[in-house]
Structure 1
Amino acid sequence: MSKFTNIIGLMSGTSLDGLDICAVRFQEKQPQKFEIINCKTVSYNEQLRNKLKNSIYLSNEEISNLSIELGVIFGNATNNFIKEHNLKNIDIISSHGHTIFHEPDIGKTLQIGDGKTINKLTRIKTINNFRAQDVALGGQGAPLVPIGDMYLFEDFKYCLNLGGFANISSKEENNIYAFDICPMNTVLNHYCKIIGAEFDLDGNFSSEGSVNKKLFNQLNSISYYEKKLPKSLGIEFVNKIILPLIENYKIEIKDILNTYIHHVAYQIKKNVDTENEILITGGGAYNKTLINCLKKEKLKIHIPQKDIVDYKEALIFAFLGRLKNEGLNNCLKSVTGASKDHSSGDVFNLI
């Protein structure tokens, strides 16, 4: 019997950068011990980005077709990745999919990227749809990454991911709590696209701006920030709350970016202490404007190796697949608010 389990984690984030693929080797008897074998991001073309961005407006039939289309893209990308890196003995593909709808307060969440299609194309056992069961059990269906933070990054009290949303895990004694702090790159990328850029590279655009104090204060007064845990956010919050609020201000894009980054830094500071190191991952870790803001707040920041910064979520979804495959809990009620800890995910075996 092999001493290792080899799993490919797939993650498609709300920032629409592309598909993150991460091949991970877990030790059989110590699943918290891992090695990243290879990783890669497969960029989406503009047509697919627009489809995903506007998918919330599609009919049920159109969403079903898009889910299969995305499953084909995921399956083919995984096959190409395996071939490119000459990977052997992949046991499981564990796919988060792409979230197009997440409103747990009304009992709805939807991730697309059909698992059956991935399984059929790759001929590898596939696990996906990790959020729906948690919502059905009364939870937020998010965040799901904290169980990985608990076991794979146990040396850090705080694990902060700066992706489409800024979300954090906080370890307290023998438990862990986590939530979405605020939107992050979903907002920054939206305004960067207006000036012809995909994102705020190294914080270059935002660094040229200045804070609009009135907008800053109004952003910080949004009621979500005072809501008690558990809580989570979806793209609907950006479209219904954040963007309309910002659009009331007729100011330059660089000032919007700078103001919003200071807003993010302020919200992060509210949820951490200055005594413990914060592990920071996700694309926002490269935004110098934001990192400088956090440093000015005297926060202790740790930015790990590039593979962890860029692929931590794909890595952890590989870990969630590992737990599901072993019949172990991969969703924590202390994090999501579900009625119980549970083992979530749909499994597609080879027929």
Structure 2
Amino acid sequence: MDLYIGLMSGTSMDGIDAALVQFDGDTPTLLATHGQRWPVPVVNRLHELCTPGANEIDRLGRMDQLVAIHFAQAVKALLAKGPYRPEQVRAIGSHGQTIRHRPEQGFTLQIGHGARLAVETGIDVICDFRMKDVALGGQGAPLVPAFHQAVFGAPGKLRFILNIGGIANISVLPGRDDQVLGFDTGPGNTLMDLWYRKHKGGSYDPQGGWAASGFVSEDLLGRLMKHPFLAQSAPKSTGRETFTLAWLELFLAERPPLRPEDVQRTLLEFTARTIVDALLPQAEGQAAELFICGGGIHNRALMLRLYEMLPGWQLDSTEALGLHPDWVEAIAFAWLAKCFINRQTGNLPAVTGAKRPAILGCLYPVD
């Protein structure tokens, strides 16, 4: 059996997704999954590290190790769910935890110490998937469109895959490998999660219920929609350091106070509009198939808004294509690990802007 483990912790920092995957060529079979929440103190320290501050190198070094230890715990819990042993797994593909994403400055940084993870699990680890693409002049993101094409592409049929994590991104799958496009559309859950965290204390707005209780401020929405990232042409990618709570609060300070729930509803509308504004030009005004994955699919208020804004489109979960929406990204990083082992390229220059296709990742062997 050709077994791989994919590990994903996204910009939402809501937890670790671990997936045990068997591949037949590019076709994945999901054998086991494990979801593990980050402990609150760890989340707080990760949030602090994402904001420039004092003593960053020491804090980074400590968190690099700690994230790897939590990843290892997730791997062990995953394997405990079935009759699988570490020596049966060819490799772990670890996304790591993004702390900075600055492709315009030539770097991106994900922590989760690969060597520590290999030692703790007894399994070879492949990580740092984004760095080679950035070194080749690319964005290093999004990397999932190549995987989406491999598993979701349909000859002669236009499909869109929408991943709503902390940041939202789309993959445009026109049916041919050489025509695939993809880019970040802007914030997914990140601003909504930050605002909810500030006012409610939880990590996210369950099913978008709090947002649904509010009203859109067209004034605030109009100012948010002027963010320069939204006007950039692809290739483009972004991160939580671009769409921050401090950025939002600059606008809130300029006008009379809004009810917190109205801000939350406006942030939901901001996410929905930036997604739709990215999709429609790629579809050239035609209704198309849109399959959704990522944590945002559980925000019922956001899903309802997308249905309303895309009349005539076929909207569904990626489960309709055979993969549960909660595990698509973790499976994608298992696939990228498989590509590394088989010496296959994992990036699409048309998506990331890299100078050429490249084998992505760095290997940290157990021995």
TM-score, reference length from structure 1: 0.94
Out of 180, 183, 198, the residue aligned to residue 179 of structure 1 is: 183
Paired with 1:247 and 1:342, the residues of 2 have a C-alpha distance of 46
- Is 1:282–1:309's contact at 8 Å kept on the other side of the alignment? yes
Cα displacement string for residues 262-294 of structure 1 (whole angstroms, at most 9, x for unaligned residues) = 122212222223521111011111111111111
- The residue type equivalent to 1:169 in the other structure is S
SS in structure 2 of the partner of residue 238 of structure 1: coil
The residue that corresponds to 1:115 in the other structure is 114
Report 1:274-285 matches (<5 A): 274-285=286-297
Q: Post-superposition shift, 1:242?
A: 4.1
- Is 1:22–1:36's contact at 8 Å kept on the other side of the alignment? yes
The residue that corresponds to 2:32 in the other structure is 38
- Is 2:34–2:74's contact at 8 Å kept on the other side of the alignment? no
Paired with 2:152 and 2:293, the residues of 1 have a C-alpha distance of 12
Q: Post-superposition shift, 1:350?
A: 2.4
The answer to whether the aligner puts 1:320 opposite 2:314 as a matched pair is no
Paired with 1:244 and 1:338, the residues of 2 have a C-alpha distance of 34
Identical amino acids, percent of aligned pairs: 29
Q: Which moved more, 1:168-177 or 1:103-112?
A: 168-177
Superposition CA RMSD, Å: 1.7
- Is 1:187–1:243's contact at 8 Å kept on the other side of the alignment? no
Cα displacement string for residues 25-77 of structure 1 (whole angstroms, at most 9, x for unaligned residues) = 101xxx22111111111111110001111113352232122111211221132
Paired with 1:348 and 1:197, the residues of 2 have a C-alpha distance of 36
Out of 146, 158, 161, the residue aligned to residue 159 of structure 1 is: 161
- Is 1:328–1:343's contact at 8 Å kept on the other side of the alignment? yes
Q: Post-superposition shift, 1:246?
A: 4.5
Paired with 1:195 and 1:146, the residues of 2 have a C-alpha distance of 35
Q: Post-superposition shift, 1:23?
A: 0.7
The residue that corresponds to 1:140 in the other structure is 139
The answer to whether the aligner puts 1:229 opposite 2:234 as a matched pair is yes
Sort the Cα spacing of 1:243 and 1:302 in 2 relative to 1 into closer, same or farther, 3 A: farther
- Is 2:19–2:78's contact at 8 Å kept on the other side of the alignment? no
Q: Which moved more, 1:78-87 or 1:101-110?
A: 78-87
Out of 303, 315, 319, the residue aligned to residue 301 of structure 1 is: 315
SS in structure 2 of the partner of residue 258 of structure 1: helix
- The residue type equivalent to 2:340 in the other structure is K
Out of 314, 329, 339, the residue aligned to residue 355 of structure 2 is: 339
The residue that corresponds to 1:208 in the other structure is 213
Q: Post-superposition shift, 1:180?
A: 0.8
Out of 262, 267, 278, the residue aligned to residue 269 of structure 2 is: 262
The answer to whether the aligner puts 1:289 opposite 2:293 as a matched pair is no
SS in structure 2 of the partner of residue 233 of structure 1: coil
- The residue type equivalent to 1:9 in the other structure is G
- Is 2:103–2:139's contact at 8 Å kept on the other side of the alignment? yes
The residue that corresponds to 1:244 in the other structure is 250
Q: Post-superposition shift, 1:137?
A: 1.1
The answer to whether the aligner puts 1:84 opposite 2:60 as a matched pair is no
Gaps of 5+ in 1: none
Gaps of 5+ in 2: none
Paired with 2:248 and 2:343, the residues of 1 have a C-alpha distance of 39
The answer to whether the aligner puts 1:16 opposite 2:17 as a matched pair is no
- The residue type equivalent to 1:271 in the other structure is A
SS in structure 2 of the partner of residue 111 of structure 1: strand
The residue that corresponds to 1:188 in the other structure is 192
- Is 1:279–1:302's contact at 8 Å kept on the other side of the alignment? yes
SS in structure 2 of the partner of residue 81 of structure 1: helix
- Is 2:134–2:354's contact at 8 Å kept on the other side of the alignment? yes
Sort the Cα spacing of 1:244 and 1:326 in 2 relative to 1 into closer, same or farther, 3 A: farther
- Is 1:15–1:163's contact at 8 Å kept on the other side of the alignment? yes
Q: Post-superposition shift, 1:236?
A: 1.3
Cα displacement string for residues 81-129 of structure 1 (whole angstroms, at most 9, x for unaligned residues) = 2123332421111100000011110112100001111111111111001
Paired with 1:304 and 1:330, the residues of 2 have a C-alpha distance of 21
- Is 2:35–2:74's contact at 8 Å kept on the other side of the alignment? no
Count of residue pairs the alignment pairs up: 345
